[in-house]
């Protein structure tokens, strides 16, 4: 007969595959300053606007 699990052992988010637990040190991530991301997005927007105005 199958053993019944206690209610505290099963997390619904983990069981549904919504949470992903990766191993520590497995993948190195880039650390970006939020200001750099905003400035980069603004630069891309300006480039797109300029290219649209020049019809390239």
What's the structural domain count of the chain? Answer: 1
Q: What is the pLDDT of residue 11?
A: 65
Q: Does some domain include residue 15? A: no
Q: How far apart are CA 56 and CA 16, in angstroms?
A: 47
Question: Does the pLDDT value for residue 4 go beyond 90?
Answer: no
Q: Is residue 47 part of a domain?
A: yes
Q: Would residue 42 count as lying in a domain?
A: yes
CB 36 within 8 A of CB 30: no
Predicted local distance difference test score (pLDDT) of residue 6: 56
Is 36 part of any domain?
Answer: yes
Q: What pLDDT, on the 0 to 100 scale, is given for residue 55? A: 87
CA distance 10 to 23: 20
Task: Please tell me the distance from the alpha carbon of residue 27 to that of residue 33, in angstroms, as a whole number.
Answer: 19
pLDDT tens-place string over residues 10-46: 566 666 666 666 555 556 677 889 999 999 999 999 9
Q: Are 13 and 19 in contact (CB under 8 A)?
A: yes
């Amino acid at each position: 007969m199958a053993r019944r699990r206690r209610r505290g052992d099963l997390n619904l988010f983990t069981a549904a595959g919504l949470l992903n637990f990766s191993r520590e040190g497995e993948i190195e991530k880039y650390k970006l300053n939020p200001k750099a991301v905003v400035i980069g997005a603004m630069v891309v927007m300006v480039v797109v606007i300029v290219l649209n105005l020049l019809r390239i």
